[in-house]
Structure 1
Amino acid sequence: MDWRERSSARKKKQQDQIPKDWIINLPPDSCLNVIDYPLKCGLLTTREIEITETVDLDVTLRNLATAEWSSLEVTTAFYKRAIIAHQLTNCLTEIFVDRALDRAREVDEYLAVNKKVIGPLHGLPVSLKDQFAMKGLETIMGYVAWIGDYSQEDSVLVQTLYDLGAVPFVRTNVPQTLMWGETYNHVFGRTSNPYNVFLTAGGSTGGEGALVALKGSPIGIGTDIGGSVRIPSTFCGIYTLRPSYERLPYFGALNALEGQESISSVLGPMTNSIEAVKIFTKAIIDAKPWQNDPLVIRKKWSQGEYELEDHGGIGAHLCFAVMWDNGVVQALPPLQRAMRIMKAALEAAGHQVIDWEPHRHLEIYKNAETIFVADGGEDYKTECAKSGEPLITTMRPDGGDHELPLIKPYAQTLVGKAFSRSAFQLWQLHKEKRALRKSYLDHWQRTVERTDTGRPVDAIVSPATAYPAPPHGLNTDSFYTTIVNAMDYATCCIPVTTVDQELDVPITRENFYNHEDEAIHLMYKPSLFVDAPVGLQVIGRPQEEEAVIAMTEIVDRAVKKYKAAVERL
């Protein structure tokens, strides 16, 4: 078969794996916002709605540990809702209902016989990006050539999840090559945003973004090398953590650009609460993953760091810096309003907020993007050539009805024509990156001169992209996220608001940083972004995941309290 026939056959196989009585009547094409459709479609029982609508993961895990809810019924409920989400947004790849339910029965039997849980994630369904190998299942990762390649063993993350008592139950869609901020490939197609199916769900973990937003999974696991958990999380209105290099176990996961280790890809949870981010992260670290993954740093969960011992302690007065503008692409009005909300919320909670001064951002951007294309695209071309499928060079859908006046993204202009570099040339990029990290560290340390805490800035608040989720094919900017990967900062994302047609009016600008900055400014029309979530990043230092999660909890509480107070006025 040629690549088209192979893709079509694999997509049909996926469709055939959906239980026939789980097929729903889809909403009309005029219904762009499908976020509440799982509650209306008639497939879920009242009990299943209660289970899947429970965002407090502590409650879910407690009910599983006490057998108030069985793992079988929880997994069934989330599986049904995941299948609903898939029919609405095309978010899944691997569907293995019987296998997951068998695992759930096994977990229930263990609890019944032993009167104790297997581990801290006992009975919990967990979804996985289509990178994490599971024994006996394909990991296609958006490439036609990988159809029919069945994994011989589980990745370390999957092994760890089993050890913790979890139930891996679906895998989710990615773009071909993974190196896109959107989600589309020739095998499984395009994933849409559940808040507005005209818009992208982001990428490369876009399938997880759409699935978790629709509450089709209590925890989804994605990966991030340039923003791939943070972009879909902010586009889909959910929470995430981008941890530092080698803090969580990645071994055994398939990947693009394997062998490129200057900017490491990392895995992170995607959830509907920051508390769930903490629960997952602590559970994985407590499992001592360095015993199974040789690259994982031997660092136990630090309760002291979670209690902000290096940031003044619990209840301390903190100082946050807002990155209103990164000096490469200016954030659009909805993001500016989200930052104003966060600033007001933090100040109302008694914290100091200052402006972040961009430092050598364009140099960092160019260095990172040049590292990413140092092989001249050989990795992508090789995998595509195995099946004959074409390399995807645009995320634009056929017949896209919205034009972006952008010939090519600014990153391509910076880097120039992709070409293979010698080892020596690549080493110079790595050397430059180290120097830039040192320079940025010194810049951060100097903020002690502007804070009233006696410490440098505790965390930076910034957009994850310059805009909310755009129409399919128009996501070009990734530097607000890529700087985090290049500097290796632990970072969380939280939802703040949604696009408001009346408040988020276009602004007038005459001067622009570059052609992409101008193109994004011209793209902005509030009517294109109806119902789009707007989220922000909370950026901390390398290897301080515990503190970043704690500070994000503080930010999240402050924002919710501030918004509730404003609504009462």
Structure 2
Amino acid sequence: MKMGIARKSGLLNEKELEITEKYTVEELLKQLKDGTLSSLEVTIAFSKRAAMAQQLLSCLTETYFPEAQERARFLDSERASGRIVGPLHGLPISIKDAFQVAGSAATIGFVSFLDHAASKENSPLVDILLELGAVVYVKTNIPQTMMANIAGSIRIPALCCGTYGFKPSTARIPDGGQISPVSAGNNFFNPSAGPLANDIQALGILCRSLLSVRPALYDASALDVPWRSLEVPPSAPKLRLGLLAEDSAFPLHPPVKRALAQAVSALEAKGHEVVPIAPARTQVANALALAFAFFMLDDTPPTHVAASGEPVVPSVIQSMEVFHSFKCDFLDDCKGLEGIKKLAALNVKRDAIQDEWRKIWKEQKLDGVIGPAAQHTAVAHDTYGLPPYTLLLNVLDYPACVLPFGKASSALDAEPFVMGPGQVGPSYDPKLVDGAPTAIQVFTNKMRDEECLQVSAIIDECLKAV
């Protein structure tokens, strides 16, 4: 939501505007803890912003405004008695619709799920957030089948909206107890839960707080691995970073190319080393073909759509049409296989992709890798297409962070760009995306989540100086 809309509406007073626009999460938590701000006034301020966003964008599936205010009053009374409930004391947090909140539904974009009974209990993540002192005040909307931003449901909103997003390694953050569109037990290609925020420090605050209570005691699917406190060097270290090359099948739009080139220049100017990784080694196209092969092992999601008679939404149709136009021979030797033999063959292919990246980490001695988060920035509705540059990290099961950096410009990137033969993706219209945010993606090796955020913070500080 543009800041001007909230100001022009007259629905928020000056202090509420300040609460929702001025502070980082760390600053808000400090003021909630010392009593400069009350949980109630912070909750009301963010609830007003959420209500306005809902009227403009239909971005919410549930609002818990009365319950959130009751919760905030309780937290304020605890603080008045000298008790801070937890590290997230008084902080309003929204959650994705798939997470369950007792007494309300989780429809995950299906009309047929509207008849489902309200959830009887919270998802483990919700219980943990409450134990940590947070205020759950809204649930955010998702596309039909949860598949229109598959393998990027944190990072794609971040890159399109100019915010920060962090996808942890699978099962670091508890994501059990969600409503799922696939068959129970279908866990051969797992999602991961993670935060979206307006500042990079907030990503680490949430992860560190969640893991402080041992999520595995709440959620059997979560790893019982604590969040590590990395040593803070006296000065920012000089990083050796890989540069993820553009894949010829998924060419980058000019604003994305420009943002990435500027990021590389800014990093090198600060003494960091950037090492290009050859396109033949990155496995971007192969990973996309493999991931969709995994997705198509389960035909349950379409049955949920058919159950209500609702039409398949254009974004789902468009993404599948784009996928079927994509040609890749990586899985040719898997054709004709069925059942467990096909699953086993796909797992062998995933092993091959992961092993190639193992070699890259070992040979190049990298601290991290930077690259595009998508071919493009925010584009017209129902034209996003495929997510090759985020999907790669799901296949590898690597932690990845999206950092906002720059904006599209019809003046700087004036020439339209149309996909050529063998290329997949939306075309570039300079006027249509003028001013849209651009971003870069940072990732590290599997289970190096702490390093991913540390490296991302160093890069973000460097980019902010540009």
TM-score, length of structure 2 as denominator length: 0.92
Q: Is the 8 A contact 2:288 2:391 kept in 1?
A: yes
CA distance in 2, matches of 1:392, 1:331: 26
Which of 75, 78, 102 is equivalent to 2:70?
102
Cα pair distance change 1:505/1:247, threshold 3 Å? same
Q: Secondary structure at the match of 1:93?
A: strand
CA distance in 1, matches of 2:446, 2:409: 35
CA distance in 2, matches of 1:379, 1:73: 44
Cα pair distance change 1:395/1:362, threshold 3 Å? closer
Matched, 1:527 2:448: no
CA distance in 2, matches of 1:73, 1:556: 31
Q: Which amino acid aligns with 1:554?
A: I
CA distance in 2, matches of 1:307, 1:540: 18
Q: Which amino acid aligns with 2:311?
A: P
1:260, distance to aligned residue in structure 2 (A): 2.9
CA distance in 2, matches of 1:513, 1:303: 49
1:476, distance to aligned residue in structure 2 (A): 0.5
1:322, distance to aligned residue in structure 2 (A): 2.0
Q: Is the 8 A contact 2:416 2:430 kept in 1?
A: no
Q: What's 1:551 paired with?
A: 455
CA distance in 2, matches of 1:67, 1:42: 26
Matched, 1:437 2:354: yes
CA distance in 2, matches of 1:426, 1:233: 32
Q: What's 2:8 paired with?
A: 40
Cα pair distance change 1:127/1:512, threshold 3 Å? same
CA distance in 1, matches of 2:66, 2:370: 43
Q: Is the 8 A contact 1:356 1:460 kept in 2?
A: no
Q: Is the 8 A contact 1:369 1:411 kept in 2?
A: no
Matched, 1:174 2:78: no
1:285, distance to aligned residue in structure 2 (A): 1.0
Q: Is the 8 A contact 1:57 1:276 kept in 2?
A: yes
CA distance in 2, matches of 1:307, 1:487: 28
Q: Which amino acid aligns with 1:349?
A: K
Q: Secondary structure at the match of 2:29?
A: helix
1:146, distance to aligned residue in structure 2 (A): 1.4
Which of 133, 141, 144 is equivalent to 2:111?
144
Q: What's 1:366 paired with?
A: 289
Q: Is the 8 A contact 2:60 2:140 kept in 1?
A: yes
TM-score, length of structure 1 as denominator length: 0.76
Matched, 1:129 2:86: no
Q: What's 2:379 paired with?
A: 470
Q: Which amino acid aligns with 1:267?
A: A
Q: What's 2:402 paired with?
A: 493
Q: Secondary structure at the match of 1:252?
A: coil
Q: Which amino acid aligns with 2:270?
A: A
1:413, distance to aligned residue in structure 2 (A): 5.0
Q: Is the 8 A contact 2:253 2:417 kept in 1?
A: no
Q: Is the 8 A contact 1:490 1:543 kept in 2?
A: yes
Q: Which amino acid aligns with 1:371?
A: F
Q: Is the 8 A contact 2:144 2:316 kept in 1?
A: no
CA distance in 2, matches of 1:533, 1:383: 34
Which of 202, 205, 215 is equivalent to 1:289?
215
CA distance in 2, matches of 1:85, 1:424: 48
Q: What's 1:157 paired with?
A: 125
Q: Secondary structure at the match of 1:303?
A: coil
Matched, 1:242 2:167: yes
Give the length in aligned residue pairs. 458
1:357, distance to aligned residue in structure 2 (A): 1.6
Q: Secondary structure at the match of 2:62?
A: strand
Query: Which of 351-360 and 525-534 deviates more?
Result: 351-360
Q: Secondary structure at the match of 2:139?
A: strand
1:443, distance to aligned residue in structure 2 (A): 2.7
> Percent of pairs identical after alignment?
31
CA distance in 2, matches of 1:552, 1:495: 11
Q: Is the 8 A contact 1:410 1:515 kept in 2?
A: no
CA distance in 2, matches of 1:333, 1:394: 24
Q: What's 2:156 paired with?
A: 231
Matched, 1:409 2:323: yes
1:407, distance to aligned residue in structure 2 (A): 5.9
Pairwise CA RMSD of aligned residues?
A: 2.4
Cα pair distance change 1:50/1:426, threshold 3 Å? same
Cα pair distance change 1:299/1:411, threshold 3 Å? farther
1:513, distance to aligned residue in structure 2 (A): 6.4
CA distance in 2, matches of 1:530, 1:41: 25
Q: What's 2:180 paired with?
A: 255
Q: Secondary structure at the match of 2:37?
A: coil
CA distance in 2, matches of 1:134, 1:314: 44
Matched, 1:503 2:420: no
CA distance in 2, matches of 1:410, 1:483: 18
Large movers: runs of 4+ above 6 Å: none
Q: Secondary structure at the match of 1:159?
A: helix
Q: Secondary structure at the match of 1:529?
A: coil
Q: Is the 8 A contact 2:322 2:386 kept in 1?
A: no
Which of 220, 225, 229 is equivalent to 1:299?
225
Q: What's 2:239 paired with?
A: 318
Q: What's 1:542 paired with?
A: 446
Q: Which runs of 5+ in 2 are unaligned?
A: none
Cα pair distance change 1:94/1:508, threshold 3 Å? closer
Q: What's 1:194 paired with?
A: none
Q: Is the 8 A contact 1:327 1:513 kept in 2?
A: no
Which of 414, 422, 433 is equivalent to 1:514?
422
Cα pair distance change 1:322/1:505, threshold 3 Å? farther
Cα pair distance change 1:502/1:393, threshold 3 Å? closer
1:506, distance to aligned residue in structure 2 (A): 2.6
